[in-house]
Structure 1
Amino acid sequence: MFVNILVINPNSSQKVSDNLKDILVAPPLTKFEFYTAPSHGPEEITPDLSTISGEIALEDILQRDLISKYDGFLICCYSDHPLVHSLAKHTKKPIMGIMQATLLYALSSASKSFILTSVNEWEPVLDKGIIDFVGSDTFPSKRFAKTKGLDVTVLGLSDPKEYAKIENRVIQVLEEYKDSNIDCVLLGCAGMAGLDDKLAASFPHIKFIDSVKVGVELLGALIRFQK
């Protein structure tokens, strides 16, 4: 069964979309096409810009009738992004956010995880996203540790010059969580796509989960199941 997935970058940075194209390998009988939000949308999404980025992307997607052309949609902003919910009002086709994909993965294993994201501003937002996703009143500390930021901008995450800073920050966080039995790190930003292999080489005792890679795998399975 052939599956056609639209990989949606809801910010206007072509650099982020190009990095997704470079690192994603389509499974058999699967085709990816890539969408970048219009240039008048935010180039980098912060918590305050999530709503406007979702509105701009949705309007453009509807105007271009992209919903009719694909079997499913992956929203590549690591958050409970509004586009996940607003797009679902216009189609019954499967839609998945990359944050939700990593949380599904984490909950399906016996690992204890935490989200590693771009900047500290996202930490409380993503922790709340975990609480909402599992349907709890409090943070599920048996399965997750609190989110940590790298203090690296989205557009800098794929820059090889920033890797030493990223690696040093991971060392700090893992030391902070050394008594927490952490063995899995969820890479909490679409701009971190492709960093899983580099980090796994630096920290071989930890699983690093690329949110975009796991997202397309789970979304493809949902599409096939629904069909």
Structure 2
Amino acid sequence: MHLLLVNPNSTKSMTEAAAKQVEHHLNQVYPGSHRNIKISLFTGPPDAPPEIDGEETSLESTRKCLPLLCERRPAAATADNLQYFDTFDGVLVACFSDHPLVCELLAKTERSTPVTGIFHASVTVCLSRPGSQFSIITSNDEWVDLLDAGAERLLGASRPYATSSCPFKGTVASSVPVLDLHNPQNLHAIAKRIYQENVQRLRTSTIILGCAGFSGMETPLKDEIRKIALQEDPSNQLHVTLVDSVICGIETLALMCRLQLSVGE
């Protein structure tokens, strides 16, 4: 199975960080010769936005990436002269949003190539946990309304979330720019924000790390949140589940590919 991980912004270091986390996960789950998933990487071109911080940059990144992803491969490379993204078994758009690139690729595929985004995949995973309420921690403040609106479209949720029967309880902004999320100096501030807002105010113990820039931060964030909880109350037995959206995306996409192959046989 050959999957394409698409980072629609132009920051290669974000692509590499997500890829590193995916490779680590796959090597643990499928050790040695049992691994049957290969990952290729795509980073947005230099004139794509360096980070996606709202609706405008989402649309701009789609405009810059779509022509490259739909380029025809030379006949010598692929006998069927397929579009580039259609040469893979599945495509993951690694931007945590209801990113328009997902729908654009699904509309253009000529061989029913599965395409999903890390936003859609991680929300689906959280819904599979019966009785578990969940929320999102994102980067910039601009994302709060956009992600809430995306979740409402996907789940049929409505505000106020606190009184809603829907397990989704809202989005919190870390107020840390995307490219600064991995800076160790910001770890405590992000963890404190999650503890105060996602855990205490929204009363959720399952929190989606709602940005590809969070990939690989699950363990250090969880440890820091635990320290903050113990400082507040030494008897606090807090348990939180931090959901890595990129890992959810890869596993969900792999399942989609397997099911499609099974149906086609």
How far off is 1:171 after superposition?
A: 2.6
| Structure 1, 44-53 or 159-168: larger mean CA deviation | 159-168
Separation (CA, whole Å) in 2 of partners of 1:13 and 1:67: 20
CA RMSD of aligned residues (A): 1.7
Equivalent positions of 1:17-56 (< 5 A) are: 17-25=15-23, 26=26, 27=30, 28-47=35-54, 48-56=56-64
Separation (CA, whole Å) in 2 of partners of 1:84 and 1:6: 13
Change (3 A) 1:75 1:144: same
Separation (CA, whole Å) in 2 of partners of 1:22 and 1:15: 10
Match of 2:251 in 1: 217
Indicate yes or no: 2:141 matched with 1:120: yes
Separation (CA, whole Å) in 1 of partners of 2:158 and 2:239: 32
Separation (CA, whole Å) in 1 of partners of 2:168 and 2:52: 24
Query: Over residues 74-98 of structure 1, what are the superposed CA-to-partner deviations in whole Å (9 max), with x where a residue is unaligned?
Result: 0011110000000111111111100
SS in 2 for 1:89: helix
| Structure 1, 14-23 or 4-13: larger mean CA deviation | 14-23
Separation (CA, whole Å) in 2 of partners of 1:136 and 1:115: 14
Match of 1:82 in 2: 100
How far off is 1:132 after superposition?
A: 0.2
SS in 2 for 1:145: strand
Q: Percent identity?
A: 31
Separation (CA, whole Å) in 1 of partners of 2:150 and 2:199: 25
Structure 1 residue ranges without an equivalent (≥5): none
| Structure 1, 66-75 or 19-28: larger mean CA deviation | 19-28
Query: Over residues 100-119 of structure 1, what are the superposed CA-to-partner deviations in whole Å (9 max), with x where a residue is unaligned?
Result: 01110111112100010001
SS in 1 for 2:70: helix
Match of 2:229 in 1: none
Separation (CA, whole Å) in 2 of partners of 1:38 and 1:11: 8
Letter in 2 for 1:124: D
Query: TM-score w.r.t. structure 1 length?
Result: 0.92
Contact map agreement 2:89 2:113 (CA 8 A) in 1: yes
Letter in 2 for 1:41: A
Query: TM-score w.r.t. structure 2 length?
Result: 0.80
Change (3 A) 1:136 1:161: closer
Which consecutive segments of 4 or more residues in structure 1 shift more than 4 A? 136-140
Contact map agreement 2:199 2:205 (CA 8 A) in 1: no
Structure 2 residue ranges without an equivalent (≥5): 73-82, 227-237
Change (3 A) 1:74 1:139: farther
Letter in 1 for 2:14: V
SS in 2 for 1:120: coil
Match of 1:186 in 2: 208
How far off is 1:136 after superposition?
A: 4.4
SS in 1 for 2:188: helix
Residue 86 of structure 2 is aligned with which of 58, 68, 88? 68
Matched residue pairs, number?
Answer: 223
Indicate yes or no: 2:20 matched with 1:13: no
Match of 2:151 in 1: 130
How far off is 1:138 after superposition?
A: 5.0
